[in-house]
Structure 1
Amino acid sequence: MYKYAPRGFVFSKLKLDLDLEFININDCFFYYEQDLDFRIKKSRDGQFILLIGTFLDIRNTTSSIDKSMDALFESLKSNKMHEELDFYSGRYVIIYYEEGKIKALSDATSMKSIYYNDNFNIVSSHFSYFKKIDESITLSALEKYRLTKCKRGYKYGYPGFYTPYKGYRILPPNFEINITDKNIQRFFPREGLLQDLDVNEIVADIYLYMSNQIKSLINMNKKLYSSLTAGVDSRYTLTVTKDFEEIQHFTYFYDGNKIHLSDVNWSKIISKILKLNYFVLDVDGEFNYSSVDYKNYSLNLRNNSVYGTHAHRISFAYSQKFGSNSVLIRSNLYEIGRQFFSDRLKNINFDRNSAIDLAKTFTYLYDKNLLGSILVQDVFLEYSKTLVNNAIYNYDPIDLFYWEHRMGIWHSLVVSETDPAAETIVLCNARKILNLFLSVTPEDRQGAVLFKHAIQQYLPELKNLPINKILDDVYDSFDVVLKISEDYIDVSIYEAEDSDDHEYAFYVYLNNKKIDTKWYSKANSLRYKMTQPGVYAVRGFIKKQDNVIVAKTSNAARYLGSIKNLDINELNSSNLVEGRNDIRTSNYIFNTFYKKGTSSKLTVLLNGAVGDRKKVILPVFQRYSWASEIEDHVLNINDPTLELDKNLRLGWYLGSKKFPLLPEIREVILQVAKSLNISIGDIVIYGSSGGGFAALNIAAYMGNNIKSVAINPQIQIKDYIATSTVNLFYEVSGFEYSDYHTSIIDVIRSKENDFKGLIYQNEKDVHHYTKHFTPLLEALNIGTNNFIHSNIKYIIFNDPRGHVGESKNMFSELIATVRRQ
């Protein structure tokens, strides 16, 4: 339990008269509540790190707090602590000693607050501690202005990191305070922001970073609750939380609020589809707010935890519903990843390099009714001076204002209200993740494309459910979900509320043509055996008691047909069938999809990264529907490397160091070509991104004038933007960074004129253009008189969408182009 404030602390240069436990650290005093988690690590020379709160390494789930402290301490000694902290989420404060100075900083969005005073060498987690220390506290000029002239509440915290009390402030995110001299210094950003990244490249990394946090919390034996609504941010959190049965999802509502009730109705449907552990929290109906218990609870909140009122009733409801050792997973911070202020700034001209212009703009965004207040503008001017003169590199000051003020101040106050009930976590609260949010194009950020892409990838069951739509009649809302299991489709109709009076019917479609009907019955599910390859979908119908009928069509799913199993040594033209062929070699089974052609040429199609392995069913055959665009025989090959680990999304067709894939895929391609009487010079190997890397690599390995096309390829695996995928690949494959076939630069240098390659590169794919394509040009002197590989050609195109593939029309043109080389 806590005495004053939940999980609270005070760190002071002087001994204080506080009725709390304390320890001495370097002649300072650290006071703490009994329910506070903290760790301290020291060295003999006086250097120390004091870690306070919940600290989660987003890179893995095996690192204990002690191991994280060791890594943090080592980074401090090497002057790289701030870089290391980019990879930690949670809700924490760090106080550390370095070069004679004691400094304090908070997590990425200051969810765990740091209060300080201009006159004291003290920092604390709650302002209420200062009320017990300082008997001369008076109202600040900002608070007096609010009470006398403004006569309205300040929205989203007090302007410019101030509080209602004179001399007392709250430390914003990305700043640290020197407790000795009370100097405030920005420590982030430290370098420029990667820009215009493609959402496809970073969605998987973010998913892994967020998933690791939940696994760590489960390992800590925390009771986990996750708030669920109809909004995009909540659904983004759900992409991860839905995988953990340990999490209780819930939706609260009160005051008969229409939006809250709509949240409840949508969430009921979602919870049924995903089979979530779910409950509804009726804030008004379940609890008595005229009781002495609630009045004491609210009074204690105001006296010890917060100096405002946001939603005390919800906090009380949480405290009654949740047990001890609970963690509440919220979703508010995702707004940082969207251009939340973009519409409000459309017709406003201001200089982003002018501190005065920024201060006026911040005042307008904070509350346009305060534009006439010089006092408020001066407060924001103090902050805006930290954003100019290249202090934030290429970051947008408006983005940092939303991050550091709206979320760094207002959100931390909101979170503090629920502290008596539970610790609060937001899964994106790490600078590494927030940086990735800000790195996609402005258009994608404004449209929440990253979030929606993740939702589509990790929640395909919810494809038909709208986001942020008010649901008035719950009985008119339902969803039809289709899944493929071997040769069957399984279809279910989910409703927000069950009804024994409803009957259900189904139309089955193949390639958009109705092929079967199941008439009305009480069964709200259907199992249907597929007999032909193609795209299947089902339209579901509900007949209600009043004979009103509503209908909706399911998601579509593609069926590739039955499988022919072949041994590589038995493969010939008579037993190679159109459709699925699984070809067995010495160490691998190559899942393939073959389309018979009319020419004497063969095109081999390779995959790039696949989607979430929890959702994607292998094998995958990307672009196989494009085979009809060319006359060639076409062979799609799934990458067996993915079988090395259930989470691996990309293997670059390399297999493992123990069993290299290149010799065996070479054998498969040559044997298929031989069975079709196709010469090696008439083979084109084609792929995009990771598949483009593989196309170049395999062609170089096979030699003999074989041809390849690579769309926006990786060039060196170690530079792939999805670092979690890179690390997992090297871990499970046994390869090392220095191994020959993990770098196309090394491969091409050794092959010279032995194969032909065509690279089709989008210059708007910033990461691949700058980190892969350009280094290849420079390393091989491509485009100069010293170009050492005359058979590598490239075409640069311009597509503002970034890391996207070619069009279907360009597919056949590129194959024709490389055949002419």
Structure 2
Amino acid sequence: MAQDQPVGHDALVVDGAFGCGYLVRAGTNTAPGLVAGWPVHKLGSLTYHLHPRTRLHAAVRDGGPGRVVILGHPVDVRAGLGDGDLICEDVLDSWTDQGLDAAVRHLAYLGGRWTAFLDAVVAPGEPGRVTVVPDCQATQAVFYSTYKGVALGSQPALVAQAVDTGPDEAAQRMWDALRKARRTGVIFHPGTMTTHEGVLPLVPNHLLRLSVAGAAVSVEHERFWPFQDRVERTDTRAVTSEFIDYFREHTRLLCDFGTPVISLTGGMDSRTSLAAALPHLHEDSFTFTYFNPRDGLTKKGAADDVFEANAIAFGVGVQHRVLRWRRPRRGSAFDEIIARTYPVQRASTGAAHAMWADLPHDIIHLQSIGAEVGTTFFTKRPEGPITADRLLEIVSTRADLGQEMARAAFGDYLDYAQFTHEAIRGYDPHDVFYWEQRMGKWGYQKFQDGDFSHRMLLPFNDRGLIELMQSLPYPQRESKVLLHALLATVPAPATPAPADEARIGWRDVVAARPHVRPRLARLRDRLPRRQTTQRSMP
């Protein structure tokens, strides 16, 4: 239920702060107060501190190569499987039969939202060997430090407190410089920077190879994707058919985790998610859009998303809610949730607070962020070498910030992420950069916005989908032909019909979704009756 019920302040804070997160430790570091009261699991060479709403799945067997642990909500589209324990067993089979690299590849093509740990069996006295693999876009983020052993967590603050390190002043100076250079729009800590000193990010499409012997730890941050060269496909019909089937199945599996609701705007990405989820919605499913009332007074067209989303939802007989974007009251439970999760630099809180305060806390929230990894985002794509200067220009939209700032932002990143034309094997560096930096450094905060209260899942967060989408020529990706094609299979949620065209009627909606009949009847009864006025002739 939404948090308008009388629940204890402290219980709300524990449930919300670092929602669905984790801290994993080995070595001489200690569990910080931030995870007090969290369930603890000692498995193999690692100790797992899990937020109360975090799911753990595991598989191990006698004589096997090691233990597979997955935190979160994995799904296997190709196997039609959403059971995390069975998925761990399948990954363990790949590891046993074909080796560690095969297990990594098996994980790489899982959908859902998760973090995986492959903890190898070693002889007594040998260092532990652990491979850490994130999901497609690292939406369940991984940050780590090798102070006092190793600590890995879903937020930099968790890791920093475990290893007793403080804010990174250089990262703060970089943030300030980027905001000065770009007054509006998205910025993020670039390259390897995070809010805390000595805490590094695991970049999407990379893994960590850990060697752990007490406080002595070595870490390799290694690119594992692409597995092969990009091959452009010109048979749009075949790609479209594969995409539609794949996207629908991924969305179906995500909907099986609970009551699905969809954050909806007038944009194509969220409409596509609604279209795929429509057959799997529950009687109490709904769509929602949040809106800042101040924008309605100052920004032309600010409410368009609300009106368009409402019309789309109404057209398919799904309830639509509007959440009022607002900051939390100082000293409130949510204010403390934010303070714990982001002690150094707060993310924007208006949307996160609206969801926490106004939505049920037992839902599965389908969010369409990440679709642009497969369509396009950066439209200016000059050819040339991948350099720190070019990456800073992409982030800041400025070409005049100088080499010193570029080196500070991305000087070590090109090696850290093995970000070269040769390593990314024919994929466009602008696409890979958006995927690995914007999604990896900005996106994870947007996903945490939902996790404060419920579980956010991403229909576009699947490597098989992204590879399909990126296989098309650039103009077709930019025009979103795949999304248009899926929407065309379900005209109702695609676009509300203009007034002079036939509209979807009540019978059409009920035929598509029979269980909404009672709701539609109630809606119809509440609609004003059309009045007929007789006029007399003059």
1:105 aligns with 2:141: no
Give, in angstroms, the shift of residue 479 of structure 1. 6.0
- Residue 275 of structure 1 is matched in structure 2 by 317
Q: How does 1:198-213 map to 2 (within 5 A)?
A: 198-213=235-250
* CA distance 1:182–1:126, shift in 2 (3 Å): same
- Residue 480 of structure 1 is matched in structure 2 by 502
Q: Deviations over 1:603-628 (max 9, x none)?
A: xxxxxxxxxxxxxxxxxxxxxxxxxx
1:312 aligns with 2:341: no
- Residue 74 of structure 1 is matched in structure 2 by 93
- Residue 7 of structure 2 is matched in structure 1 by none
* CA distance 1:136–1:319, shift in 2 (3 Å): closer
* CA distance 1:501–1:108, shift in 2 (3 Å): same
Q: Deviations over 1:404-435 (max 9, x none)?
A: 11112211122113321121111010100010
Measured in 2, the distance between the counterparts of 1:403 and 1:182 equals 23
Q: How does 1:534-553 map to 2 (within 5 A)?
A: none
- Residue 165 of structure 1 is matched in structure 2 by 196
- Residue 612 of structure 1 is matched in structure 2 by none
Give, in angstroms, the shift of residue 482 of structure 1. 6.1
* CA distance 1:442–1:64, shift in 2 (3 Å): same
1:410 aligns with 2:446: no
Q: Which runs of 5+ in 2 are unaligned?
A: 1-10, 123-128, 212-217, 509-525, 534-538
Give, in angstroms, the shift of residue 104 of structure 1. 1.0
* CA distance 1:98–1:156, shift in 2 (3 Å): farther
- Residue 51 of structure 1 is matched in structure 2 by 70
CA contact (8 A) 1:57 1:68 kept: yes
* CA distance 1:451–1:215, shift in 2 (3 Å): closer
Q: Deviations over 1:274-299 (max 9, x none)?
A: 11232222335xxx844743xx3123
CA contact (8 A) 1:106 1:114 kept: yes
Aligned residue identity for 2:142: I
Q: Which runs of 5+ in 1 are unaligned?
A: 467-476, 487-497, 504-520, 523-821
* CA distance 1:91–1:306, shift in 2 (3 Å): farther
* CA distance 1:271–1:136, shift in 2 (3 Å): closer
Give, in angstroms, the shift of residue 49 of structure 1. 1.0
- Aligned with 1:93: secondary structure? strand
Q: Deviations over 1:327-381 (max 9, x none)?
A: 2111111111223212x33xx4x42xx343xx22211110034731524335424
Q: How does 1:765-804 map to 2 (within 5 A)?
A: none
* CA distance 1:307–1:480, shift in 2 (3 Å): farther
- Aligned with 2:441: secondary structure? helix
* CA distance 1:121–1:408, shift in 2 (3 Å): same
CA contact (8 A) 1:60 1:212 kept: no
* CA distance 1:186–1:151, shift in 2 (3 Å): same
Give identity over the alignment, percent.
Answer: 17
Measured in 1, the distance between the counterparts of 2:111 and 2:406 equals 32
CA contact (8 A) 2:174 2:409 kept: no
CA contact (8 A) 1:36 1:52 kept: yes
- Residue 339 of structure 2 is matched in structure 1 by 302
- Aligned with 1:243: secondary structure? helix
1:17 aligns with 2:55: no
Higher helix proportion: 2
Within the candidate set 161, 166, 175, 1:132 is matched to 161
Q: Deviations over 1:182-216 (max 9, x none)?
A: 21000111101231343322333333333334433
Within the candidate set 74, 94, 112, 2:116 is matched to 94
Aligned residue identity for 2:132: A
* CA distance 1:62–1:26, shift in 2 (3 Å): closer
* CA distance 1:454–1:362, shift in 2 (3 Å): same
Q: How does 1:619-658 map to 2 (within 5 A)?
A: none
- Residue 519 of structure 2 is matched in structure 1 by none
CA contact (8 A) 2:264 2:287 kept: yes
Within the candidate set 243, 250, 254, 2:292 is matched to 254
Task: Give the number of aligned pairs.
Answer: 471
1:380 aligns with 2:410: yes
Give, in angstroms, the shift of residue 454 of structure 1. 1.9
- Residue 33 of structure 1 is matched in structure 2 by 51
Between Structure 1 and Structure 2, whose CA radius of gyration is higher? 1
Within the candidate set 142, 165, 177, 1:114 is matched to 142
* CA distance 1:256–1:9, shift in 2 (3 Å): same
- Residue 517 of structure 2 is matched in structure 1 by none
Measured in 1, the distance between the counterparts of 2:365 and 2:89 equals 28
Q: How does 1:675-690 map to 2 (within 5 A)?
A: none
- Residue 395 of structure 1 is matched in structure 2 by 427
Give, in angstroms, the shift of residue 44 of structure 1. 3.2
Q: Deviations over 1:541-600 (max 9, x none)?
A: xxxxxxxxxxxxxxxxxxxxxxxxxxxxxxxxxxxxxxxxxxxxxxxxxxxxxxxxxxxx
Measured in 1, the distance between the counterparts of 2:173 and 2:334 equals 28
- Residue 264 of structure 1 is matched in structure 2 by 306
Within the candidate set 262, 265, 269, 1:233 is matched to 269
Within the candidate set 330, 350, 371, 2:401 is matched to 371
- Residue 521 of structure 2 is matched in structure 1 by none
Within the candidate set 342, 346, 363, 1:326 is matched to 363
- Aligned with 2:289: secondary structure? strand
Aligned residue identity for 1:480: A
CA contact (8 A) 1:6 1:305 kept: no
CA contact (8 A) 1:301 1:417 kept: no
* CA distance 1:39–1:461, shift in 2 (3 Å): closer
CA contact (8 A) 1:269 1:478 kept: no
- Aligned with 2:424: secondary structure? coil
CA contact (8 A) 2:178 2:187 kept: no
- Aligned with 1:237: secondary structure? helix
Q: How does 1:305-704 map to 2 (within 5 A)?
A: 307-342=344-379, 344-345=380-381, 348=382, 350-351=383-384, 354-356=385-387, 359-369=388-398, 371-385=401-415, 386-388=418-420, 390-459=422-491, 462=494, 480-481=502-503, 500=528
- Residue 224 of structure 1 is matched in structure 2 by 260
Aligned residue identity for 2:238: E
* CA distance 1:327–1:114, shift in 2 (3 Å): same
The answer to which structure, 1 or 2, has the higher relative contact order (CA under 8 A, 6+ apart) is 2
CA contact (8 A) 1:115 1:169 kept: yes
Q: TM-score, normalised by structure 2?
A: 0.79
Measured in 2, the distance between the counterparts of 1:118 and 1:373 equals 30
* CA distance 1:59–1:500, shift in 2 (3 Å): same
Q: Deviations over 1:165-189 (max 9, x none)?
A: 2221221101011233121000111
- Aligned with 2:466: secondary structure? helix
CA contact (8 A) 1:142 1:376 kept: no
Give, in angstroms, the shift of residue 217 of structure 1. 4.0
Measured in 2, the distance between the counterparts of 1:464 and 1:314 equals 26
- Aligned with 1:338: secondary structure? coil
1:243 aligns with 2:265: no
* CA distance 1:306–1:224, shift in 2 (3 Å): farther
* CA distance 1:404–1:149, shift in 2 (3 Å): closer
Give, in angstroms, the shift of residue 444 of structure 1. 0.4
- Aligned with 1:297: secondary structure? helix
Measured in 2, the distance between the counterparts of 1:41 and 1:5 equals 26
- Residue 206 of structure 2 is matched in structure 1 by 175
- Aligned with 2:228: secondary structure? coil
Structural RMSD (CA): 3.2
CA contact (8 A) 1:102 1:179 kept: yes
Give, in angstroms, the shift of residue 264 of structure 1. 1.4
Give, in angstroms, the shift of residue 118 of structure 1. 4.8
* CA distance 1:463–1:230, shift in 2 (3 Å): closer
